[in-house]
Structure 1
């Protein structure tokens, strides 16, 4: 009988157990002083690499990867991640104790020895010649290596972008412009570094930029005529040093990739980082960005992770563990409606304003001031990332406001009244608010996204009870959500020894975000219970999301021949509705069209679900569905004022024309509007009509 196959999570647990045994053995050998310190340091670095790779692999695992159902999968996975984090922390501490004093060359020596062994296996004749050359004058070569300046192409050489003062034991205090050699890169963002004086400690990676060319250029200019006397000789020597450093960097990267089992070389990424400079890095070096500002963490997730953190992804149905049914979509057999689902966390809140938020310096034009928010447990994002744009008054530049009073319908993008549904059991669950600006650099036209700070509202108290409905003033921290005690601009560090009156004044100058927790009426609570288990969005769109959810349940749970049938479904509404959550102006167009339709309904019609579904489909097809496939509508682009104004004009004009044709024909959603020569359409694609369950289901 063949042995029973083990799941990926069980294999990961065994790998963690094996890593822990090796770490315990290493600690025991170090305490008993068995073997040399260099050998222990090498073993420690190898274990760090293995543990980091295993942690990355573990984070990518999902329930769908398992061969058989696993009980308490999420809890067991989190336990293994915590074990690995604890092991990495112990290895970091041990690495600091074992690292040799003075300039660290251990990693380079190990990589070089490995590369020399590989070269010996490939070509013995060349190695014998190299060994003969190396054996002549080794002492002189060692001296030359000791005084050789760090090569800019060495991936271990970084420049400090901003001053950092160590706050805990093991931190390395550095100043802007200082050149550091990175000994080890940790997954938590705190890298072990060594300065030119031989001091070692950990530094946050957000303070570092790869290469040392910026400060070297400044030094060359300051040194003046003395360094220009032998330009030709110096240029030749520098070119030789750069070529040698580039080769060493390639050998180091290739060896690390072979040890970790990576399928590609990271050297291309390093070389790209050396040649391409981000606009944010340039502005940071110029001092045009206040201290505490960072590249936007949540915007980076939206750009790099595709649809994983967008509302269009979370509005789709989620498959069960067997992938033969749905986890969060059920029908009530008595009423025929979507069955309400209660989740662990369902809150409504309103963004009020932000105070004392610094503004970027000269040389940049701010295109958008906004807040990106999501569910967060201190380590990972647990929901989609929703964006609310702030209104800005030049008379009070440090104050941001939300939900302005205006005639007509408030746009979704400006509406600060939101809801969060989340089924996470984490005791540290809360809402992460990242204050951000999208800017364009006047001199070059480069665009960028900056985080002006972040705030976190934990949704339970220490006893696990939900927060009461009241107004909360949240301090805005600088840096990223993974940094702590980083001040924004020139604000005084909290806890400094000053008088009571000065503390009151300083408290008023601290950046703050004002958020109000609120309750919802019974109708809104009922509509919220029909939505997916995890979603964060605007409260004004709840009724549209609930209707879409009802149509989704009818199509997937009632109209399919069997639950195992996965054929394409003809439904233009379901195939295109998720796009609206990523394009708020189109969502506003649907809200306006549906509001006009509701004004003509009677009370009985508003209570008739079948009638509402029919009308919703008609309104959708005669408004938003028509706009999505209109060639006159430009592509949606975030924080682009000309594009946003052009789209607004097209949407307003098209909806007005469609409404006029509706009055003349007497009905909406007719096919004749799609063949009218006055309303051209894009070339037909079958994906406009088909809902592919296997492709979109989570």
Structure 2
């Protein structure tokens, strides 16, 4: 398209529109209907003299017929040649005439006229095409004559309903009694990390074997549960730490064999665990509980606690009683007179490996966990320290 062609066409269009606008529209419509072309043709019909519009545009072999001459610009286009119209994205244009080469005579809301390409325009639906909203009447509420009470099935209970016995509770920050600070997390401004915490007890344990263990029936599984237990209950609760679980790798003829190598993606089979305790009371002991999974008939699976044992940690003077080395511990049956061979458990006690000491010192004061998570748990605690340090309100435990 050349500039000379645009000028001639625009002058001719304006002169014909000034003589008779209605005659030009009728003639344009008649030409469109009588001379079909292979190219796509869009006919614009006046709104006042047409029947009610259809809901959708009618597709024909010649093109698409729409009602109304209101179009919206899809993109911003600046006038390049003389006679072109500069439009902004979203402008509503009124189309006066169309040409076969795809350039239409459009008019903006300010009264400016010019030629625009049809491929940047989209037809605007008129108000007559929009569906009318109907106000629906609300149904009248009817009260039932009789009510029937139905019992809902009972919900399945968790093994440890107390949140205090979970690992999530002990890995989180713990507020002091005044609720103004965290008593197990201190920030080191010089090193820009949390201050290491030294505790009274920090040892590594390994369960080597469980012997002479027999239980009636055919259990579905077995595991050993460890925790710190307060025999005096001076702390207000008997279990003062989280629960940690270790599963045997093989159970045969009353002998539990534990894994000697690390099993990928099976942390529950790792027989090693570490114990951190800051309690300076000789009544706080390390408790082992042997539990079997039993199923009787159609009843749900039951976690039966068959045997337990307790290892003292400190004496009355606060000195550690956990000496490095192996030992055999005799298990006891809770409140039951056991007539068979007494089960025994072989364990090994050692210090924290030197390569893990700096990570272990960053952990909470009271914790029992898998040593495979030393690094990730220390990183988690450092992240909590950065979060607390950068909070806006120092009197608030977290950000709003």
TM-score with structure 1 setting the length? 0.33
Maintained 8 Å contact 1:435/1:452: yes
Offset, 1:518: 0.9
Distance change in 2, residues 1:563/1:458 (3 Å): same
Distance change in 2, residues 1:356/1:544 (3 Å): same
Aligned to 1:403: 259
Aligned to 2:165: 309
- In structure 2, C-alpha distance between the alignment counterparts of 1:460 and 1:568, rounded to whole Å: 40
For 2:240, which of 382, 385, 389 is the aligned residue? 382
- In structure 1, C-alpha distance between the alignment counterparts of 2:176 and 2:317, rounded to whole Å: 32
Residues 294-326 of structure 1, C-alpha deviations (whole Å, 9 max, x = no match): xxxxxx9x7363322111111110012221211
When the two chains are superposed, the root-mean-square deviation of aligned CA atoms in Å is 2.2
For 1:465, which of 310, 319, 322 is the aligned residue? 319
Aligned to 1:370: 223
- In structure 2, C-alpha distance between the alignment counterparts of 1:429 and 1:566, rounded to whole Å: 30
Offset, 1:334: 0.8
Structure 2 portions without partners, runs of 5+ = 1-156, 233-237
Maintained 8 Å contact 2:328/2:347: yes
Offset, 1:430: 1.9
Bigger RCO of structures 1 and 2 (CA < 8 A, at least 6 apart): 2
SS of the equivalent of 1:335 reads coil
Aligned to 1:539: 371
For 1:550, which of 382, 385, 395 is the aligned residue? 382
Maintained 8 Å contact 1:437/1:449: yes
Offset, 1:445: 4.4
For 1:522, which of 354, 368, 374 is the aligned residue? 354
Please list every run of at least 4 consecutive aligned residues from structure 1 whose deviation after the TM superposition is greater than 6 angstroms.
none
Aligned residue runs from structure 1 range 26-425, under 5 A: 303=159, 305-361=161-217, 365-379=218-232, 380-393=238-251, 396-405=252-261, 409=264, 411-425=266-280
Maintained 8 Å contact 2:223/2:247: yes
Distance change in 2, residues 1:566/1:446 (3 Å): closer
Matched, 1:450 2:308: no
- In structure 2, C-alpha distance between the alignment counterparts of 1:410 and 1:404, rounded to whole Å: 15
Q: How many residues align?
A: 238
For 1:560, which of 378, 391, 396 is the aligned residue? 391
Residues 21-51 of structure 1, C-alpha deviations (whole Å, 9 max, x = no match): xxxxxxxxxxxxxxxxxxxxxxxxxxxxxxx
Aligned to 2:329: 474
Distance change in 2, residues 1:381/1:356 (3 Å): same
Compare the two structures and name the one with the higher strand fraction: 2
Aligned residue runs from structure 1 range 560-639, under 5 A: 560-566=391-397, 568=399
Maintained 8 Å contact 1:372/1:434: yes
Maintained 8 Å contact 2:212/2:254: yes
Tell me which structure has the larger Cα radius of gyration.
Answer: 2
- In structure 1, C-alpha distance between the alignment counterparts of 2:187 and 2:317, rounded to whole Å: 36
Aligned to 1:440: 295
Residues 660-681 of structure 1, C-alpha deviations (whole Å, 9 max, x = no match): xxxxxxxxxxxxxxxxxxxxxx
Compare the two structures and name the one with the higher helix fraction: 1
SS of the equivalent of 1:473 reads strand
- In structure 2, C-alpha distance between the alignment counterparts of 1:567 and 1:359, rounded to whole Å: 49
Structure 1 portions without partners, runs of 5+ = 1-299, 492-508, 570-698
Distance change in 2, residues 1:409/1:304 (3 Å): closer
TM-score with structure 2 setting the length? 0.56
Offset, 1:564: 1.6
SS of the equivalent of 1:366 reads coil
Offset, 1:345: 1.6
- In structure 1, C-alpha distance between the alignment counterparts of 2:193 and 2:216, rounded to whole Å: 51
Offset, 1:464: 4.5
Distance change in 2, residues 1:399/1:420 (3 Å): same
Maintained 8 Å contact 2:281/2:316: no
- In structure 2, C-alpha distance between the alignment counterparts of 1:437 and 1:325, rounded to whole Å: 42
SS of the equivalent of 1:308 reads helix
SS of the equivalent of 1:371 reads strand
- In structure 1, C-alpha distance between the alignment counterparts of 2:285 and 2:293, rounded to whole Å: 25
- In structure 1, C-alpha distance between the alignment counterparts of 2:282 and 2:243, rounded to whole Å: 20
Offset, 1:358: 1.1
- In structure 2, C-alpha distance between the alignment counterparts of 1:338 and 1:553, rounded to whole Å: 6
- In structure 1, C-alpha distance between the alignment counterparts of 2:276 and 2:324, rounded to whole Å: 16
- In structure 2, C-alpha distance between the alignment counterparts of 1:327 and 1:423, rounded to whole Å: 12
